[in-house]
Amino acid sequence: MRPALCVEDDVKSIAAEIMKYLHQRPMASDSLDGITHWWLVQQEITKNMDLVEQALTQLAQEGKVSKKMSANREAIYSLDPAYKPTKG
């Protein structure tokens, strides 16, 4: 069983995510199931996308991936052909 303080922190964090969602979409309404599966998942995906972008930027700076822009100006990432992994 988790300590009450951890649960309280989780509740505060989830409440903050719900409010963030509602501030971005003031007309939104949904059931508990919908909020759990759509609102909170979407918030997590957005958060994760920011982290993924940071990771890709770091990998590009390290010369491990290359970044090219598509015709519609979307960044496309792939393994940099010049990258040679070290054996280890």
Distant-in-sequence, close-in-space partners of 8: CB < 8 Å, separation ≥ 6: none
Please name the residue ranges forming H helices in the chain.
Answer: 4-24, 32-34, 40-61
The band of 51, judged by pLDDT with boundaries at 50, 70 and 90, is confident
Q: In the predicted model, is pLDDT for residue 52 greater than 90?
A: no
Q: pTM for this structure?
A: 0.55
Q: Are 65 and 57 in contact (CB under 8 A)?
A: no
Looking at residue 48, its pLDDT comes to: 78
- The predicted-structure confidence for 2-36, as pLDDT tens digits, reads as follows 677 788 888 888 888 889 889 999 999 998 888 88
What are the boundaries of each domain within the chain? 4-79
* CA atoms within 13 Å, Cβ hemisphere of 43: 18
Q: What is the mean pLDDT of residues 70-75?
A: 92
